[in-house]
Amino acid sequence: TTLVVHVSYLDGKGNLEPQGAVPSAVSTLTDDLLKYYQHVTRAVLGDDPQLMKVALQDLQTNSKIAALLPYFVYVVSGVKSVSHDLEQMNRLLHIARSLIQNPFLGLGSYVRSLIGSVLYCALEPLAASINPLNDHWTLRDYAAMLLSRVFWTHGDLVSGLYHQILLSLQKVLADPVRPLCSHYGAVVGLHALGWK
């Protein structure tokens, strides 16, 4: 049995690029941007808290990183693969917060992906929540606050986002099979969105 794979990429205009071509989004990145991306992700996910703080601050204020937005959103979406490690999940949410607060980034279509990652942290029964010594409640509180911030600052970018978020929170809250930690996440999420 043989398998032949053909890979094609869409360019920014919806045209197929030839097989084997480097996607235009990747080919336009400079070496400096790629180095910046590597240094920031290593700093945030590394062991040095001071370096992490500096990297997050720069990520929040840097006006020249718009081309890296899809890469950082992809890193944030990694929360699902580290649900056993609250510290790493917390750091990924910090990256999301820095991206949301950066006034030079137009989040556009990436808002849904960021919301999905934040909702995951707030609502899912994480592997780390099995151990009662792990403080996953604080992570859920932080995710709810971040959910509110994304919604109120960038909610107008995506139509139907308000209803999608409310439906997700309501669905979890109304499900009697879901664990208490998921119900808690839904309640703090609703509370963070405000009484309206």
Rounded to an integer, the average pLDDT of 103-111 is: 89
Res 101: pLDDT: 93
Question: Any idea what DSSP says for residue 10?
Answer: E
Nearest Cα to 96, choosing from 64, 47, 139, 160?
Answer: 139
Q: CB within 8 A of 163, min separation 6: which ones?
A: none
Q: Which of 90-99, 102-111, 123-132 is modeled with the greatest confidence?
A: 90-99
Tokens of 95: 């990256």
pLDDT band at 127 (very low <50, low <70, confident <90, very high): confident
Number of Cβ within a 10 Å radius of residue 31: 7
Scan for tokens 């030079």, then name that residue: 104
Return the higher-pLDDT residue of 127 and 167. Answer: 167
Nearest Cα to 145, choosing from 126, 109, 119, 173?
Answer: 119
Q: Residue 63 in 3-state DSSP? A: coil
**Phi, psi dihedral angles at 159 (to 5 degrees):** -70, 140
Res 155: pLDDT: 75
Distance CA 175, CA 184 (A): 12
The mean predicted confidence, pLDDT, of the chain is: 84
Q: Residue 19 in 3-state DSSP? A: coil
% pLDDT > 70, the chain: 86
Return the higher-pLDDT residue of 172 and 9. Answer: 172
pLDDT digits (tens, 9 = 90+) for 6-48: 444 444 444 444 444 444 444 568 889 999 999 999 999 999 9
* CATH match of 31-193 with 1.10.220.110: no
Residue 188 pLDDT > 60: yes
Distance CA 157, CA 166 (A): 17
Residue 178 pLDDT > 80: yes
Distance CA 124, CA 172 (A): 9
pLDDT digits (tens, 9 = 90+) for 51-86: 999 999 999 999 999 999 999 999 999 888 888 888
The answer to which of 45-59, 87-101, 151-165 has the lowest mean pLDDT is 151-165
Residue 150 pLDDT > 60: yes
Nearest Cα to 140, choosing from 194, 63, 192?
Answer: 192
Tokens of 97: 């917060």
Question: Any idea what DSSP says for residue 133?
Answer: T
**Phi, psi dihedral angles at 99 (to 5 degrees):** -65, -40
Q: Can you say whether the dihedral through the CA atoms of 146, 148, 151, 153 is positive or negative?
A: negative
Residue 115 pLDDT > 60: yes
Q: Angle 106-112-117 (CA atoms, 0-180°, nearest 5)?
A: 110
Distance CA 107, CA 66 (A): 9
